[in-house]
Structure 1
Amino acid sequence: MNPIAPSFPLQPRCPAEGFEADEGLEALLELAAETFEVPMAAITFLGPARARLLVERGCGVRELPRAATFCDRALATGSGLVIRDAAAEAAFRDHPAATGASALRFYAGLPFQIDGSDATPVLCVADRRSRDFPAPCLRRLGQLAVQASRHLALQRDLLLARRLAHTDEGTGLLNARGLCRALDARRASGRDLLVACLRLHRWNAVAEGTTAGDGVLAEAANRLTRIGPLSTGSARAGGPPPLLASLGRGTFAIGFEGGPELADAAALVSGEIAEVLRDDLVLRGQRFSLAAAVGLATTTGGGLGGGRSGPSGREILSRASLALTDARRNRGAGFVESRLFDAPMLAKARASATLESELRASIDSGRVQPAFQPIVDLTSSRVAGYEILARWEHPERGPIFPDVFIPLAEQTDLIEPLFACLARTAIHALPSLSADRHLPFLSLNLSKLQLHDGTLQDRIVGLCADAGVPTHRIHLELTESDVAESGEATATMHRLRAAGFELMLDDFGTGTSSLSSLHDYPVQWLKIDRGFTVQATRRRSVAIVADAVADLARKLNLRTVAEGLETAEEVPLFQAMGFDMGQGYRFGRPMPLPALRAWHASRADPLGGWLPAETPRHRAA
């Protein structure tokens, strides 16, 4: 074995990959050297052109050309090779391993298998002096090879488990745990870091087709690998390449090393991400945009402090994720929207976490209650149904408005418990709100997240069955923009409709595909956005559009609701247009169930003409 300097690069797919030197293997080689009284021992893996000594004793080399080692010959025999004196044997005296100042004269090598692996390493012992090696010695070498095989099989399983724990299965990139570990290793050297966390826009819609989703992820990962180390001025900074990780759900993270200029480099990183993702991906005839939101955080900014005492890898990734949330929440028109973490984001996140905990407790304790807002038949002036709206009366803060806690519930895992709490109470109360054998309908709002739940209809059917309420008296409201984003949402709508529920497209006219895909939605109702009702009496053009919506709905056999009616002038205008129902403060504010029952009791005909002045005001409305 010639002592060639270990500077040769490993070949791709080196058979030694997945194995590493450890104390157990080193002890085994020590035992082999002492048993046979030789100065050199090794376990060698042979690649197409290179030989790698996974672990060695006395050899002074870890890698050399395959042709320069006797292990190549040992592997060819299949049963092992013993060379007692290479200089005296014509077959070996000119071999590269037997020539030169460090020529070997004695060599004994035995190939062995590793259970579950295609690799066939060679356990060998060697000396620069000739030696005898009788058959019992070869048997003993075989016993040591069996021990090496078992050890390497166990080691491979452990290394594989460790790698899987730190690797994303779909892309082969680091996962969050692996990235944090790698960031910590780089932080240990005292280097400052910048982490960019990015999420592809509209990922849920892309991921509906698993094959398409995998293809988009693979291409995005491939493009992100083109991003090199941070630039300093016009030149690339030295140092290791960025760390790239896949965090799941269309989200990636990239970790960079740098110095005090990291905060200034954040804009550059955002620009490079935009550059590599800019071109659309065409996959199986479909075109996908790789537009993304990006959150960035550094160990030198946001009041975090740099150096070894700064934040851990997990902390810096968490801060980049907070910045990503802010970028997604405040998305503009840019191809890549980015935000750099700062201290106020952390304060906001802590406040949000506190509010989330309080919301969870309030849902569990029943402090979040449904409010019932009347929906009136514009022809008969009778109350036809109620929209159910969430109201949260905090014991210390007072009313928390829906535009605060509904998005919070959607960002966490609380939207389904919140919906179930409201729906259960409202549906069970519905029979008590009927009069003259007329059962009003309830209109419940669905979140876009629920539209990806294949069991949603079963749960609502169960609530109706428990309360003895026919499913056709439950209307489910979905916003046009949520439905337009996802084919899976349309499939959910069909399942809900098949279960007997009536579907209402809410805020109609504000989405992106109102007319082109309306015929694909199994809806029975259209509710126009409040913006139309407010403007219709002031702008003729808005009134014309609202009238056209009513006409379109009639031709499609759809019923209509005008939302947000507040003034005496608006009601007759929408009656004349032919809208079926009206909703708004003109008819009644959202009322908790006790107030609604009192309101009913105060009316001679609870289902008769609406009385605008009689609905009580509530702070949470």
Structure 2
Amino acid sequence: MAGRWRSWYTPAAALLAAAEVLLIVLGTHAGFPRLLVWAPAVGGVMLAVAAFRGAAGAFGSPGIDNDLRTFWARLSVAMGVVLVAAISQTVDVSTMPYTGLPPVGPRTLTCYVIATILGSTALLRLPGGGSSWRQLTTAVLDVAVVAVTGAIAASEYLGWFVHSFKLSASAWWLSVAIMAIAGVGAVVIVKIMAARRSPVPRAALWWLAPIGLAGPLSTVLMTMLEPWPHLNGSAAVLPFVGLFGVLAARAQQRGAGTPGARVLDLSSYRRGTAIPLVATGLVSVLVATVFLRTGHLGAVQVTGTTCLLLLVVARQTVTLAENGTLLDTVAHQAMHDELTGLHSRRYFTAALTEATDTHTVLLIDLKDFRAVNDGLGPAVGDALLIAYGRRLRALAGEGAVVARLGGDEFGLLVPGAADLSSRVLAANAEPLDAAGHEVLVEVSIGIATSAGTAGPSRGGVPAGVGLPGAGISAGSGLLAGVALHPTGCGRGSAYLYRQAEIALREAASGAGDRVVRYDASLEQRLSQRATIAADLRRALGAGEFHLLYQPIVRLPHGTVAGVESLIRWTPADGRTVSPADFIPVAEDTGLIVELGAWIIDTVCAQAAQWLRRHGQDALRSIAVNVSARQLLDPNLPEVVASALARHGVPANRLTIEITETAVFAGGRALTTVQALSQLGVNLALDDFGTGHSSLGLLRTCPVNAIKVDKSFVDGLGGTPQQEAIAIAVHGIAERMGLYTVAEGVETAAQARRLHELGYRHAQGFHFAPPLPAAGIDALLEENSRLAA
């Protein structure tokens, strides 16, 4: 059963290593039992085994996690065998005579060799990324370079070892075990430097690398500690084997949330190139040292150095070829989108600048993509982007540049003056398959035409100069800004792109399928929107907003049952700004959140006055419209609850009106609606039947009322087909326990027919226009007189 990582492993391992150092230092001045130095040694290795098991236990899901779990599980087995070897060596020290060479029995050496083989296997089987023939050849050459370097060093080490301990069976096998352990360190280093996409954090591999130096270092310490038989080179290094193992496992734990990179790792190429350079440098130093000490070089040194040079030349030749491939890969990645395979923004803008003939530009943004991504998950969102990119490529045809410009934005550069807007619109009648989900998308198309010369001018100023920045708001529509430009010079193309963005922004302000053609009036409208945005915040602080209230009446008599609040803006100069002009701007700038909070507070304050003045039963509800942007604000339920409590208004007297589109995709907006419902306020679906109408929405969204759109009321008194939806909506609502309100009633005939169909609440100019609070007071007083 897999272990668990404990935070105290690291300080405990560090403490054992420090204790071993202290014992070694004290042992050179005073004697003590031989087994004392082995306590930290065995304890440190035990901690490494537990840490490796803890690292393995942190992974259990399919894919890359399986590789990590298997790797750390194998290392824990290898370190477990090291633990057995350490215990076995402790027994050797206590039972075998000391003859100059520290006591090491065949059983102990066998365990060390087995541990080495297991550790090497775990490292070699760790996925390293890269499977092309060049990468495989490079890996083989790297191993060969390290092997030759190690062989040259091993020949010198073996001579020193035999000279120091004399040649005996035990000494021979000890040297084999030590060189095998050193080989593990070499394997680790090769793995670190050659791996492109290792799932194990690189820091963990670097902490494992020094473990391979434990064997050679222990023999050096054996010679240094020979005057003190109670000290031992193996015991001195084993606590550090445990410490480095624990630190490696700790690095894995810290990097568990972000396993090895799955994209091209450019730094790995630099690290891989360093392998032959480091090997050549080390061998050069070694050969120079041997020559200076002995005055000649042996056959091993000469042959090994020659082989090493040939391998390095081969390695660098492959590297040059691989670097060429790398440059091609980098260039492709810079000019293409990783997800969809389409061209990137950089390529698109470069192609637009270099175009010399008549061409058409389309800028496209997916409508409600954020809702799809949040509601169905990022995997479906990615699949939708891929599918839509494929559709655009098919629509554009040969010779066109199709690019993903970022997020859910796309761009098309089409030769000639062809307008693809109708084809884009028609294609959206077919759903896209996004990871098993059939998704329909809508488009709005903005068209901007430039004719004659690059950067057409008005009064000497090229088109587009001095325009306010027109950032494209994500998720505001599947939008296409189209621009035509016949000459294609660089500056003209920049203006062209800007004109397309202006058309795109205007298209974003509407809903459903729209076609907007670029002209000078768009710039004027954009400038007007910028002015409104600048004035909005000042107007809110200056008290320039006020509310009107339109009655909701009971049929057939027309007595007031409730009111709907409607915001109006009258600046200091006395002119009136239409809500159709400033509400979209408030949405874009985010000021709708602050403005909406003011509306809610003002409505609650007014409701409190009416309820005190006319009684608690005077009004069934006071309605407030809440936008899609407000529903994305997690603080909205708290804003509503605070306003109700501050003014003492019962929650069931407040109705929050929302649109179908705002909550259709679920996600954060639906979560906010559910939180509002838990407060006890009423919820109404406004303009029902005109947005993303879905009967399933009536089950998932906790609404109390349905407001039938005016377009269906207008059909009353006509053919049965014209009345069908109004009849059906009332029947469904009645069976679901919801009350209905018919909007936009303008004639007595419409009111009469609604009552005949079963409707009991209506709203419209036939009954009353939006009124100030005093007007509602008068109607409520009249209600009281009629009731009396």
- Using the size of structure 2 for normalisation, the TM-score is 0.49
Q: 2:406 aligns with which of 242, 247, 250?
A: 247
Q: What secondary structure sits across from 1:399 in the alignment?
A: coil
Q: How far is the alpha carbon of 1:431 from its aligned partner?
A: 1.1
Q: How far is the alpha carbon of 1:331 from its aligned partner?
A: 7.0
For the residues of structure 2 that align with 1:481 and 1:286, how far apart are their CA atoms? 19
Q: What letter matches 2:273 in structure 1? A: P
For the residues of structure 1 that align with 2:441 and 2:776, how far apart are their CA atoms? 53
Structure 1 residue aligned with 2:598: 421
Q: How far is the alpha carbon of 1:479 from its aligned partner?
A: 3.1
Structure 1 residue aligned with 2:8: none
Kept in 2, the 8 Å contact 1:195–1:320? The answer is: yes
Q: 1:286 aligns with which of 434, 437, 450?
A: 437
For the residues of structure 2 that align with 1:533 and 1:326, how far apart are their CA atoms? 30
Structure 2 residue aligned with 1:219: 386
Q: How far is the alpha carbon of 1:577 from its aligned partner?
A: 4.1
Could you list the per-position Cα deviations for residues 541-588 of structure 1 after superposition, in whole angstroms to 9, with x for gaps in the alignment? 656764554454333322232333344444444445443323223433
Q: 1:458 aligns with which of 633, 638, 662?
A: 638
> Residue 121 in 1 paired to residue 287 in 2?
no
> Residue 530 in 1 paired to residue 530 in 2?
no
Q: What secondary structure sits across from 1:391 in the alignment?
A: strand
Q: How far is the alpha carbon of 1:391 from its aligned partner?
A: 0.9
Kept in 1, the 8 Å contact 2:454–2:493? The answer is: no
Q: How far is the alpha carbon of 1:496 from its aligned partner?
A: 2.1
Kept in 2, the 8 Å contact 1:247–1:253? The answer is: no
Kept in 2, the 8 Å contact 1:302–1:341? The answer is: no
Could you list the per-position Cα deviations for residues 129-169 of structure 1 after superposition, in whole angstroms to 9, with x for gaps in the alignment? xxx96659899xxxxxxxxxxxxxxxxxxx9xx99xx9999
For the residues of structure 1 that align with 2:781 and 2:347, how far apart are their CA atoms? 73
Q: How far is the alpha carbon of 1:465 from its aligned partner?
A: 1.6
Q: How far is the alpha carbon of 1:185 from its aligned partner?
A: 5.7
Closer/same/farther in 2, CA of residues 187 and 460 from structure 1, 3 Å limit: same
Aligned-pair identity (%): 27
Closer/same/farther in 2, CA of residues 467 and 285 from structure 1, 3 Å limit: same
For the residues of structure 2 that align with 1:48 and 1:378, how far apart are their CA atoms? 78
Q: What letter matches 1:559 in structure 2? A: Y
For the residues of structure 2 that align with 1:442 and 1:137, how far apart are their CA atoms? 94
Q: How far is the alpha carbon of 1:189 from its aligned partner?
A: 6.4
Could you list the per-position Cα deviations for residues 102-154 of structure 1 after superposition, in whole angstroms to 9, with x for gaps in the alignment? xxxxxxxx9995987544114879xxxxxx96659899xxxxxxxxxxxxxxx
Q: 1:205 aligns with which of 352, 371, 384?
A: 371
Q: 1:589 aligns with which of 754, 765, 769?
A: 769
Closer/same/farther in 2, CA of residues 48 and 512 from structure 1, 3 Å limit: closer
Kept in 2, the 8 Å contact 1:266–1:296? The answer is: no
Closer/same/farther in 2, CA of residues 170 and 387 from structure 1, 3 Å limit: farther
Q: How far is the alpha carbon of 1:463 from its aligned partner?
A: 1.8
For the residues of structure 1 that align with 2:402 and 2:724, how far apart are their CA atoms? 56
Structure 2 residue aligned with 1:401: 578
What is the correspondence of 1:322-401 to structure 2 with a 5 Å cutoff? 322-328=502-508, 341-378=518-555, 381-396=558-573, 398-401=575-578
Q: How far is the alpha carbon of 1:608 from its aligned partner?
A: 4.6
Kept in 2, the 8 Å contact 1:368–1:391? The answer is: yes
Q: How far is the alpha carbon of 1:443 from its aligned partner?
A: 0.5
Q: What letter matches 2:366 in structure 1? A: L
Closer/same/farther in 2, CA of residues 195 and 525 from structure 1, 3 Å limit: same
For the residues of structure 2 that align with 1:527 and 1:491, how far apart are their CA atoms? 22
Closer/same/farther in 2, CA of residues 253 and 80 from structure 1, 3 Å limit: farther
Q: How far is the alpha carbon of 1:275 from its aligned partner?
A: 10
Two-structure CA RMSD over aligned residues (Å):
5.1
Kept in 1, the 8 Å contact 2:395–2:423? The answer is: no
Kept in 2, the 8 Å contact 1:483–1:489? The answer is: yes
Q: What letter matches 1:267 in structure 2? A: D
- List runs of 5+ in structure 1 lacking aligned partners: 1-45, 52-64, 83-109, 126-131, 140-158, 611-621
Could you list the per-position Cα deviations for residues 447-504 of structure 1 after superposition, in whole angstroms to 9, with x for gaps in the alignment? 2333444443222112212222121111112234544454665544333222211112
Q: 2:745 aligns with which of 559, 565, 568?
A: 565
Q: What letter matches 2:409 in structure 1? A: T
What is the correspondence of 1:284-323 to structure 2 with a 5 Å cutoff? 284-289=435-440, 292-293=443-444, 303=456, 304=463, 310=491, 317-323=497-503
Structure 1 residue aligned with 2:168: none
Q: Which moved more, 1:539-548 or 1:440-449?
A: 539-548
Kept in 2, the 8 Å contact 1:383–1:608? The answer is: no
What is the correspondence of 1:150-299 to structure 2 with a 5 Å cutoff? 171=339, 179=345, 195-207=361-373, 208-217=375-384, 219-220=386-387, 223=390, 236=399, 242=401, 244-248=403-407, 250-254=408-412, 256=413, 264-267=416-419, 280-289=431-440, 292-293=443-444
Kept in 2, the 8 Å contact 1:302–1:342? The answer is: no
For the residues of structure 1 that align with 2:661 and 2:695, how far apart are their CA atoms? 13
Could you list the per-position Cα deviations for residues 173-226 of structure 1 after superposition, in whole angstroms to 9, with x for gaps in the alignment? 899xx83x6566667768688643212244233212223444325524762795
For the residues of structure 1 that align with 2:533 and 2:713, how far apart are their CA atoms? 34
Q: Which has the higher helix share?
A: 2
For the residues of structure 1 that align with 2:715 and 2:351, how far apart are their CA atoms? 59
For the residues of structure 1 that align with 2:287 and 2:710, how far apart are their CA atoms? 93
Closer/same/farther in 2, CA of residues 78 and 455 from structure 1, 3 Å limit: farther
Kept in 2, the 8 Å contact 1:382–1:608? The answer is: no
> Residue 494 in 1 paired to residue 669 in 2?
no
Could you list the per-position Cα deviations for residues 366-403 of structure 1 after superposition, in whole angstroms to 9, with x for gaps in the alignment? 32222111222336754332101111123447112223
Kept in 2, the 8 Å contact 1:199–1:294? The answer is: no
Could you list the per-position Cα deviations for residues 564-618 of structure 1 after superposition, in whole angstroms to 9, with x for gaps in the alignment? 33444444444454433232234332123xxx226626985564559xxxxxxxx
For the residues of structure 2 that align with 1:537 and 1:275, how far apart are their CA atoms? 34
Kept in 2, the 8 Å contact 1:194–1:296? The answer is: no
For the residues of structure 2 that align with 1:174 and 1:226, how far apart are their CA atoms? 9
For the residues of structure 1 that align with 2:335 and 2:538, how far apart are their CA atoms? 36
Q: What secondary structure sits across from 1:403 in the alignment?
A: helix
Kept in 1, the 8 Å contact 2:335–2:347? The answer is: no
Closer/same/farther in 2, CA of residues 377 and 137 from structure 1, 3 Å limit: farther
Kept in 1, the 8 Å contact 2:657–2:686? The answer is: yes
Closer/same/farther in 2, CA of residues 121 and 199 from structure 1, 3 Å limit: same
Kept in 1, the 8 Å contact 2:746–2:764? The answer is: yes
